[in-house]
Amino acid sequence: MPPSITTRSPDFVVVGGGIVGLWTAFEAARQGLSATLLEQRTIGAGASGGLLGALMPHQPTGWTDKKQFQLDGLLSLETEIAELEALTGISTGYRRCGRIMPIRNAEKRRQSGDWAQASRERWPAPFRWDVSDETPDATWLPPAEMPFGINADTLSARVSPRGLLSALRQAAEMSGVTIREGVAVEQIEADGKLRTTDDEIAAGHVVLAAGWQTFGLIEALLAAPAGTGVKGQAALLRPAIPVDPALPILYDNGTYVIAHADGHVAIGSTSENTFGDPLTTDERLEAVIKHATSLCPALKDAEVIERWAGVRPKAAGREPLVGPLPGLSGVSVATGGFKISFAIAHLMAKAVVSLSRGETPDTLPQAFLPENRVRPLPC
């Protein structure tokens, strides 16, 4: 049996071994705090251990503090990853590859001009959203698939989800974080104590970063649900003819096609609000594969080498939940990033650690704070 963390008295206990939980435990350790991470299965067993790794900005029109937060994340993540790779020697497969999206009607072409102009007002140089009539590679996106041109941005990037998780795990452990797999939280007490399948834990601060399962952990304490899970399915393909890993992310009508550094191509994903088994793939994924392979000639005769399914956390109101949980002493949440978690997880971690110390992060949108979004049950 692993040693009881009650006797260790860590400053921080992080629940959840996905992208947000790992960044949070690592950030706590970087700030000189003792930290323990609990994961009920294995590191990356949830949505973070998927295949896509798309790091894409929102459209630059209708600017909000949420979009600014995501932009800050996309801009700062490159440096964070470089430091991780230097520390651990593990490649994360990160590349600022950009993104292209075919335009299929005249109205979308008109809107695209607005997005391009807004990028010049909101994004720092040299990053831009542009409209073009030229494809960067006809085997990636043929002219016939872009009747009104393409949207192209130079801000988007991609990363290997599993590579980044491996680097984060090693960096966290090198920094003194204790990682305990196979330990599930069964109950959260009103005073912030955790009852797990192994022991009862009292820590200086607890951060619930267990993805969509965080909502289940806290639902008995709240007047209304804090969020839900949305299932996604994806696949990994091995092209018959190698593709250039520098190719931009291809996105069309909900389908992503992403060339990775190892020569494989990830495609996805579905967005299923209702589902049975969260970990099985079905005909919905086959439809995505069919769309991707018909869209992209480079995938002709490609072999499907992995099919994957997982559930992403979507907080009620859409914005992530980051910060102290009302009604509980010493408990915070950090979840609900849905499709943008990989781009902002490091900033969510910095914010939740700062908030636990009584500090106020300047860049965290007020809408992310649980005190502005959830109500505890009456005492």
Whole-model pTM?
Answer: 0.95
Cα-Cα-Cα-Cα dihedral sign, residues 152, 136, 340, 213: positive
Choose the final residue of a domain: 314, 337, 362: 314
Do 103 and 149 form a contact (C-beta atoms < 8 A)?
yes
Q: How would you classify the pairing of strands 205-208 and 12-15?
A: parallel
The C-alpha atoms of residue 75 and residue 293 are separated, in whole angstroms, by 31
Supply 222's token pair. Answer: 């709240």
301 and 237, same structural domain?
yes
Domain coverage including residue 336: 5-49+162-227+317-372
The C-alpha atoms of residue 49 and residue 51 are separated, in whole angstroms, by 7
Q: What is the per-residue pLDDT for 6?
A: 42
For residue 221, give the CATH number of its domain.
3.50.50.60
- Classify residue 32: in a domain, yes or no: yes
40 and 29, same structural domain?
yes
H/E stretch holding 150 reads strand 150-153
239 and 119, same structural domain?
yes
- Classify residue 56: in a domain, yes or no: no
Question: Hey, is 76 helix, strand or coil?
Answer: helix
Instruction: Return the closest-CA partner of residue 177 out of 356, 349, 57.
Output: 349
74 secondary structure, DSSP code: H
Please give the share of the chain, as a percent, with pLDDT higher than 70.
97
Do 249 and 100 form a contact (C-beta atoms < 8 A)?
yes
Q: What is the per-residue pLDDT for 4?
A: 46
Q: From the CB of residue 89, how many other CB atoms can be counted at a distance below 10 Å?
A: 9
Provide the phi-psi class of 253: left if phi over 0, else alpha when psi is between -120 and 50, else beta. left
Would you say how long the chain is, in residues? 379
142 φ/ψ angles, rounded to the nearest 5 degrees:
-75, 150
Choose the final residue of a domain: 297, 314, 331: 314
- Classify residue 88: in a domain, yes or no: no
310 and 238, same structural domain?
yes
327 secondary structure, DSSP code: T
365 φ/ψ angles, rounded to the nearest 5 degrees:
-60, 140
Q: How many CA atoms lie within 13 A of 289 on its CB side?
A: 22
Report how far apart the first and last C-alpha atoms of the chain are (Å, whole number).
Answer: 37
Choose the final residue of a domain: 314, 332, 363: 314
150 and 242, same structural domain?
yes
The C-alpha atoms of residue 152 and residue 227 are separated, in whole angstroms, by 33
244 and 143, same structural domain?
yes
Do 151 and 97 form a contact (C-beta atoms < 8 A)?
no
288 and 254, same structural domain?
yes
Omega prior to 239 cis, within 30 of 0: no
Q: What is the per-residue pLDDT for 379?
A: 64
Q: What is the per-residue pLDDT for 1?
A: 43
144 and 9, same structural domain?
no
Instruction: Return the closest-CA partner of residue 175 out of 42, 12, 53, 50.
Output: 12
- Classify residue 220: in a domain, yes or no: yes
Q: What is the per-residue pLDDT for 223?
A: 86
- Classify residue 89: in a domain, yes or no: no
The C-alpha atoms of residue 251 and residue 230 are separated, in whole angstroms, by 19
- Classify residue 68: in a domain, yes or no: no
- How do the pLDDT tens digits run along the chain, 379 residues long? 444 444 447 899 999 999 999 999 999 999 999 999 999 999 999 999 999 999 999 999 999 999 999 999 999 999 999 999 999 999 999 999 999 999 999 999 999 999 999 999 999 999 999 999 999 999 999 999 999 999 999 999 999 999 999 999 999 999 999 999 999 999 888 777 888 998 888 889 999 999 999 999 999 888 899 999 999 999 999 999 999 999 999 999 999 999 999 999 999 999 999 999 999 999 999 999 999 999 999 999 999 999 999 999 999 988 999 999 998 889 999 999 999 999 999 999 999 999 999 998 989 999 999 999 998 888 6
Domains in the chain: how many in total?
A: 2
247 and 119, same structural domain?
yes
- Classify residue 10: in a domain, yes or no: yes
- Classify residue 342: in a domain, yes or no: yes
236 and 207, same structural domain?
no
